[in-house]
């Protein structure tokens, strides 16, 4: 059973890494897309999902709430008889190196809130657009044929 808890902890680290990649990589994609006028950044599902994902982290940081993914990972590690940074296989160790740093808590709180504010600031400047809004209408110049 200990091996199962260790596997769950490893899985949570990988999920956490993907969450961080979506939050940070998503914002880079949005900023580049806004500059280069990519239509792909305006999908409502992507944009609202990104806003919610980053907003959740910013609110947790502002309220001093520990990330549930981190807490669950630690709990599973204890149940597996592992230390948080010990007895980890390659992928979880790599993921932890990428997403966890040794800074004071106030630095993380400030970074999470600032990043959340950046996402909120960019949102109205490059808002999501539904597919129907992207389609030309019969009255638009691109929809009429010129002969």
Closest C-alpha among 124, 119, 2 to residue 57: 119
Q: How far lies 121's CA from each of 15, 55, 112, 116, in Å? A: 27, 12, 14, 9
Over residues 113-140, the mean pLDDT reads 80
Which of 45-59, 107-121, 122-136 shows the lowest per-residue confidence on average (mean pLDDT)?
Answer: 122-136
Burial class (CB in 10 A: 0-12, 13-18, 19+), 58: buried
> What is the three-state SS of 75-108?
HHHHHCCCCCCCCCCHHHHHHHHHHCCCCCHHHH
pLDDT of 32-50, one tens digit each? Answer: 999 999 988 999 999 999 9
Q: How far lies 55's CA from each of 52, 71, 98, 115, 116, in Å? A: 5, 19, 21, 9, 6
Q: Which residues contact 117 (CB under 8 A, 6 or more apart)?
A: 58
CA terminus-to-terminus distance, the chain: 74
**89: confidence class by pLDDT, cuts 50, 70, 90:** low
């Amino acid at each position: 059973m200990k091996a199962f808890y260790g596997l769950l902890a490893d899985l949570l680290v990988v999920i956490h890494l993907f969450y961080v990649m979506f939050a940070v990589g998503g914002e880079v994609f949005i900023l580049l897309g806004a500059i280069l006028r990519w239509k792909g950044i305006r999908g409502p599902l992507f944009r609202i999902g990104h806003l919610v994902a980053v907003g959740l982290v910013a609110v947790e940081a502002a309220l001093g709430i520990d990330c549930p993914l981190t807490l669950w990972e630690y709990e599973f590690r204890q149940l597996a008889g592992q230390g948080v940074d010990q007895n980890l296989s390659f992928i979880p160790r790599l993921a932890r190196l990428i997403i966890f740093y040794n800074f004071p808590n106030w630095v993380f709180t400030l970074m999470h809130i600032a990043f959340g504010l950046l996402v909120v600031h960019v949102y109205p400047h490059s808002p999501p657009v539904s597919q129907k809004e992207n389609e030309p209408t019969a009255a638009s110049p691109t929809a009429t044929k010129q002969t």
